[in-house]
Chains A and B, each alone.
Chain A
Amino acid sequence: MKIVSVSLAAILLFFGSILGGCASMDAHVTPVYTVEPGKKSPLSTIPSLAVSIQVEDQRNQFELDRVGNKKNGYGQNMAKVIPDKAPADILRDALKAEFEANNHKVVAPEVSQADALVKVGLKRFWSEATIHFFDIEMVATLETDIGILNGTGQDKLSSKPLTSTFRDSRQYAGEGAFEDSLKGALLEYVRTFSRDPAVLDALKASSTRK
């Protein structure tokens, strides 16, 4: 019986050390969006445009150096989740990839020949783990305000908040969980952007004014 107890304690200690991980060490994540080869979105139905994308980081000052917090079982912050690339760049690159995969050309904002200017104010890019009784829920959000302007001028065709949320349920949430959930939110954001009726209408209007 004593052997059983000792062995059980050893096994629990072993798994406890895995599950505990390094909760007090900062996590580094690289959430990127990858276009699925051959997949087209409704953006492909719009005649080819030269698009400029401007992303401005407008996140809360307390979240500027991180995209999440690692927490202990009581919900106290233990360490930061730090992106290896600036979130504004991550978002701009994701939108650029989506436009290019759908036959549009992305040009620098200073280029005067742009047919449309997509201005994005990044409000939040955040991932959070909530511990429930049976599982750990990861929730990631990407919140923005977007404006679509005709050419590089001030003629605004559409302006609206655009938000995506990604949730998943896990038994174990290590550093990979934060990266996966942020990737999920980014993927959902790009899908939302490229399928949103107001965004599509604004870009169509840009193409007719060319």
Chain B
Amino acid sequence: MAWSNCFWLLTLRTPFLFIVGALLTGCVATTGTKATMSGTDLAQIKKAGVFVESPHQISVRVARDNMTNTGAVLFGLVGAAVEAGYKSSKDSGHADTLLSAVGNFDPAHESAVALRDRFAAVHVFQSVEIVASDNRRAAESAGFDALFQQTIEEWGLRLCGGEDRVRVELDVHMRLVTLPEGAVKWERDELMIDGVCRPISEFQTDPEVLRSSLKSAIETLAGRTVNEIAFP
């Protein structure tokens, strides 16, 4: 067979490599500890800064966790998209009703305080302070050896049973970087579901229930996180 007749093989190489590549990409864990610290690394950090940010408002996942797939079965991808959109809008409505109950509760501030207190209680570092930004240069000039950064990607309530029973959810990304080089020495993603399952109406009608549940989850997460760093 002449070489020119094998041209189709070359033509197929790209889609073939694409499919094989996709299969070989394997899996990527989106929760769990990505990088752990050795005891030596930990001992080198004397003064650490804690920076927490929470870019989003409270979120509710009830309708989205209750997808029926009816739309997909009846109308394929378009049906699935319509159902997802409807459920997302319904959850936004639930979240809006919680805004007044949340009031001035600031998960980033609460978490920063809880982390600082836990780090200090367990004596992981000699000194721990809350910092206002994650600017490494500013932190280094203030004498910090490391920055503990936490981003609260999602916080609020998540379906836990029945049609409308929910409990607290915290979806966070955390990392500890050393200064001045910015090397990531410890990194973890965590989806934390905490507290007692209650009807969503209890959280809507009693702001104290919502705030105390959120605060308790944040404090528990801080305790676990500090223990996770101290015992890699």
- Which residues of A does B touch, CB under 8 Å? 3-4, 7-8, 11, 15, 18, 40-42, 73-76, 137-138, 141, 143, 161, 163, 165-172, 177, 180, 184, 187-188, 191-192, 195-198, 200
When C-beta atoms are compared, the residue in chain B nearest to A177 turns out to be: B27
Q: Is the CB of B26 within 8 A of A170?
A: yes
Q: CB distance B27 to A195 under 8 Å?
A: no
B-side interface residues, number (CB < 8 Å): 37
The residue on A at minimum CB distance from B27 is A170
Which B residues are CB-close (under 8 A) to A163? 192-194
Q: How far is the CA of A120 from the CA of B73 in the complex (A)?
A: 39
The answer on a CB contact under 8 Å between A197 and B230 is: no
A165–B190 Cα gap in the complex (Å)? 8
> Could you say which of B10-18, B40-48, B133-141, B204-212 contacts chain A?
B10-18
Chain B residue, CB-CB nearest to A40: B231
Additional A-B contact list (10), CB under 8 Å, known A11-B16, A168-B29: A7-B8, A15-B23, A18-B23, A42-B230, A42-B231, A75-B73, A161-B167, A184-B29, A188-B31, A196-B220
Counting CB contacts under 8 A, is B30 at the interface?
Answer: yes
Taken together as a complex, chains A and B put the C-alpha atoms of A172 and B23 apart, in Å, by: 6
Some 21 contacts from A to B, beta carbons below 8 A apart, are: A3-B8, A4-B11, A7-B8, A11-B12, A15-B19, A74-B69, A75-B67, A76-B73, A138-B27, A163-B193, A166-B29, A167-B191, A168-B29, A168-B30, A171-B23, A177-B27, A192-B224, A195-B223, A196-B220, A196-B223, A197-B220
Q: Would you give the shortest CB distance from B75 to chain A, in whole angstroms?
A: 10
CB distance from A179 to the nearest CB of B (A): 12
Closest residue on chain A to residue B24 by CB atoms: A171
A24 to chain B, nearest CB (A): 17
Which residues from chain B contact A167 at a C-beta distance below 8 Å? 29-31, 191
**CB–CB A196/B191 < 8 A:** no
| Interchain CA distance A8-B194 in the complex, whole Å | 50
Closest B residue, CB atoms, query A6: B8
Contact A11 B19 (CB under 8 A): yes
Q: Measured between C-beta atoms, what is the minimum distance from A21 to chain B in Å?
A: 13
The one of B27, B30, B193, B224 that contacts A180, using a Cβ cutoff of 8 Å: B27
- Determine if B2 is an interface residue (Cβ-Cβ < 8 Å): no
Closest to A162 in B: B194
Whole-angstrom distance between the Cβ of B211 and the nearest chain A Cβ: 19
Judging by beta carbons under 8 Å apart, are B15 and A8 in contact?
yes
B25 / chain A contacts, CB cutoff of 8 Å: 171
Q: Which residues of A contact B228 (CB under 8 A)?
A: 191, 195
Contact between A166 and B69, CB atoms less than 8 A apart: no
Given contacts A169-B30, A188-B31, contact A7 B22 (CB under 8 A): no
Among candidates A4, A41, A76, A168, residue contacting B69 with C-beta atoms closer than 8 Å: A76
8 Å CB interface, B192-208 against A: 192-197
In the complex the two chains form, is B69's CB within 8 Å of A75's CB?
yes
CB-based contact B12/A168 at 8 Å: no
Q: Report Cα–Cα, A84/B72, bound state, in Å.
A: 33
CB of B63, distance to nearest CB on chain A (Å) = 15
B143 interface residue (CB < 8 Å to A)? no
Q: Is B66 interfacial (CB 8 A cutoff)?
A: no
* Distance between Cα atoms of A192 and B67 in the complex (Å): 29
Task: Given A4-B12, A196-B224, decide whether A169 and B27 contact each other with a Cβ distance below 8 A.
Answer: yes
List of B residues within 8 angstroms of A18 by Cβ: 23
- Complex CA gap A130/B173 in Å reads 22
With known contacts A41-B231, A197-B220, A74–B73 Cβ distance under 8 A: yes
User: Which residues 3-61 of B sit at the A interface, judged by CB distance below 8 A?
Assistant: 8, 11-12, 15-16, 19, 22-23, 25-32
